[in-house]
Structure 1
Amino acid sequence: MSSAARKKSVLLATALLALAAPLAAGTTASAASVSTWDKVAQCEASGNWSINTGNGYYGGLQISMSTWRAFGGTDYASRPDLATKQQQILTGEKILAGQGQGAWPSCGPAAGLGADHADPYPSGPTYPSPSSLADGTLVKSPNGPSVKVMIKGAGVPVAGSDVTPDHYDLGRIVLIADSAFNGLPSAPPAGTVVHDQAGGADRYVIIDGAALLIGGSDWVSDGYNTRQDMGVPTAWLKDAAQRNLSNGRVVMDQSGTDPARYVMVNGTALHISAAEWTANGYDQRSLMGVPTSWLAASASQQLANGTVVKDASGKDATVYVMAGGKAVPLTYADFTGLGYDKRPLEAVPGAWLTTAAAKTAPADGTMLLAQGDATVWQVNAGKKRPMTADEFGPGKLSFNDVVSVPAALITALPTV
């Protein structure tokens, strides 16, 4: 592109920005075949589609940055020379439609740019299959701003806040078809070992889209050190580390040191007795190994207050609500009157449920409220004490942590 034409292109770029966006890439009234564009590139840049000499014009068609931006080239790459040949030609088609072959005053006419009206890509642009892309490749759809990074066949979302600390080069984005982009799984497959792309010593294993922390002692003993360790976006990993495994997921100690099997319910690992393993059909589910230390912590914590449970075998038809580790039986009137019929009913191992129901009182610190009673009670050493309003508020206890239970439970607890 000559100096005069380049000045003209810069002046016209802003005025034509609004016009350029809706123009089709292959407008036949001013289109040109790939062979003609090859002639233009040969004239402008000796056929080098990746050329960047530092003269302010880039790629095979020697397009300036202002023109590249004005005609939508940055949808493909940050600079023309970083875009593919096809992407440069598609942008060149828009420039040709807006400015004519005069945008390349010497090379355009010499290549026959104004006389060739063939669509360079009559079937539309072709894009690579995500399965052909290496791990760590940044991808996006041609029609959206979102960016993902390829990790083991998944497209993990990249937040804007990740770009700089995670050292992602947006100039290396690869375009893939809309359907392929939208169809990418958002989490790497189960068993993938990951770390924060921005750095840090922590390692995690992905299961059900959740990131489980691998303890230092687990790294070797559980064999995670033999797996490929992948960097993932910081924001995504932070969110994944807060997720629970899917309810009903059956897990075991990855090291095999603990032979027991567990089922996950609301983030807690519940022990499955040997008799229930086959009787309740747990043996028919996919069994996943999890980090030893993570499993120990999950199995030791109480099932979340307010979780509504029943015996997975169906032998006990009673419905229970969890309060401080105790399974509190609900009558039908309690079940509906306390609003628990609006919550999911989780199936749990019968032996575990029997043990939880046999506890004499909820754990210390559990806050209880009976229907129709304005007083909130707190459990302390198997007894209850009335709480005052000034114990709740910002920086204090929250009413959201109070468990609604049948009045009979509160009545049965001695008052402090």
Structure 2
Amino acid sequence: MRSAARKKSALATAATAATALLALAAPLLASTPASAASLATWDKVAQCEASGNWQIINPTGQYFGGLQISMSTWRAYGGTQYADRADHATKQQQILIGEKILAGQGQGAWPNCGPKYNLGADHANPYPDAPTYPAPSSLANGTLVKSPNGPDVRVMIAGAGVPVAGSDVAPDKYDLGKVVVIDPNAFNGLPSAPPAGTVVHDQAGGANRYVIIDGAALPISASDWTEDGYNLRADYGLPTAWLQAAAQRTVSTGRVVMDQTGNDPSRYVVVNGAALHISGAEWTANGYNQQALMGVPTDWLASAATRQVPNGSIVQEVSGADSTVYVMAGGVAVPLTNVDFIGFGYDKRPLLGTPGQWLASAAAKAAPANGTMVKSLNDPTVWEIVNGKKRGMAGSEFGAGKRSFDDVVGVGSAFIAKFPTA
């Protein structure tokens, strides 16, 4: 879209741009644009602009799709309700946004191709039977939405579309008679979790409050509610089933966190649900200071900081200065040989970076926690560690309602040999 619209956009002041965006809000929902063109005319413009290729990108990387619409114009006229940029949208969606541009700027928006095909003089609706949909961003929090192509319902919360289960409808008092139908691509593109830092509660009721971090719902204690300032944030009701599942999730591995109060200067990185302390030297040396820092509830952080990285997690120093790979077993970081790393299938698991000082401390621990089960690669015996000693386990100890072989951690034979037999 090699247009006057681009020049106008480059020269416009911030105030003018803001006014223009506000003025666009009403036309976005209009069923018939003030100016329009037939499908045949739009095809001619696309042939002129992009050789009829609706998924093309201009060699400059600035203009997209069959109508060569810039990113700023695509956003300003509501194109992101369909796709992030024009060439990712369908032909119909690009034309519908083209109609809005034509209504707002006239055929001069395509100075080389618009006048050539009398784009502004056509006045025909290219899709007379096409439904028009509201943009999700225009809908209030708590609005129920669905796609015209399926029965699934979501509720709009802070820009996300949180899934509503059938079991949620009655207890959460959702009125399915007020569901708003939105564009299917916009519906499918909605994030399913509210943004990090959103405070939520069960829509069905109850006093519990949570904060969403990476799709996980972290409980906010009664003392944290005011001390951490969560009581000053908007509090949204979420579908019961989704919230219950989110409360079982863990914060993403690699997420850097701190106490929400700001009173504790310590910083932590989350690894498989455990919060590992980051030393002052490692904060900058390992690049943690370059990552987004998220405040989390004080009590949740205190609990996460005492958790062990789960058994079987494969870890390595995040800086890469130490190439040794370890497996976690009862809080101990056990070094692995290449044979054990491959033999136990650990090469198929994600390798998790951890702060060096934390890893050195975990590797120096004398023995795994009581009850940890380990075995070496070439020995069928499963050993349970109890008070720094090892006990050979019988096969009868495993099975339904008993211990599980899935909880046994594969380690090197040298590690097992360090412990006397109980």
The TM-score normalised by the length of structure 1 is 0.70
Deviations 1:106-136 (A, max 9, x none): xxxxxxxxxxxx9997151111111111100
Code of the residue aligned with 2:341 in structure 1: it is F
* 1:60-82 Cα deviation digits (max 9, x unpaired): xxxxxxxxxxxxxxxxxxxxxxx
Counterpart of 1:188 (choices 183, 189, 194) is 194
Deviation at 1:252, TM superposition (A): 0.3
Q: Say if 1:283 and 1:120 are closer, same or farther in 2 by CA, change over 3 A.
A: closer
Read off the aligned partner of 1:297 and give its amino acid letter.
Answer: S
Give the letter for the 1:394 counterpart.
Answer: A
Of the two, which has the highest radius of gyration?
A: 1
Aligned to 2:208: 202
CA distance in 2, matches of 1:275, 1:150: 43
CA positional deviation for 1:239: 1.2
Secondary structure in 1 aligned to 2:251? coil
1:259 to partner: Cα distance: 1.4
Q: Distance in 1 between matches of 2:253 and 2:129?
A: 46
Pairing of 1:125-274 with structure 2 (within 5 A)? 125-274=131-280
Q: Distance in 2 between matches of 1:190 and 1:410?
A: 43
Matches of 1:375 and 1:178, distance apart in 2:
56
- Paired with 2:208 and 2:407, the residues of 1 have a C-alpha distance of 31
Residues matched between the structures, number: 301
Counterparts of 1:19-30 in structure 2 under 5 Å? none
One-letter amino acid matched to 2:260: Q
Deviations 1:275-309 (A, max 9, x none): 00000000000000000011111110100001111
Aligned partners of 1:205 and 1:275: how far apart in 2?
30
Q: Does 1:405 align with 2:411?
A: yes
Residue 323 of structure 1 aligns with which residue?
329
- Superposed, which structure 2 residues align to 1:233-382 within 5 Å? 233-382=239-388
Q: In structure 2, what is the Cα distance between the partners aligned to 1:120 and 1:258? A: 61
Q: Secondary structure at the match of 1:243?
A: coil
Shift of 1:257: 2.8
Structure-2 change in CA distance of 1:394 and 1:119 (3 Å)? same
Question: Quick one: which amino acid aligns to residue 386 of structure 1?
Answer: G
Within 5 Å, give how 1:16-55 maps onto structure 2.
none
Unmatched runs of 5 consecutive residues or more in structure 2 = 1-31, 33-123
Deviations 1:221-244 (A, max 9, x none): 100011111000011111111111
Q: Which residue of 2 aligns with 1:68?
A: none
| Alpha-carbon shift at residue 142 of structure 1 (Å) | 1.1
Q: Which residue identity is paired with 2:369?
A: A
Equivalence for 1:27: none
C-alpha distance in structure 2 between counterparts of 1:318 and 1:150, whole Å: 47
Please provide the CA RMSD for this pair. 1.8
Cα displacement string for residues 337-372 of structure 1 (whole angstroms, at most 9, x for unaligned residues): 221111111110000000000011111110111112
Write out per-residue CA displacement over residues 194-245 of structure 1, whole angstroms, 9 at most, x where no aligned residue: 0111111111000111111111111111000111110000111111111111
TM-score by length of 2: 0.69
One-letter amino acid of the counterpart of residue 221, structure 2? G
Distance in 2, matches of 1:199 and 1:354, equals: 46
SS of structure 2 residue aligned to 1:195: strand
SS at match of 1:300: coil
Percent identical among aligned pairs is 69
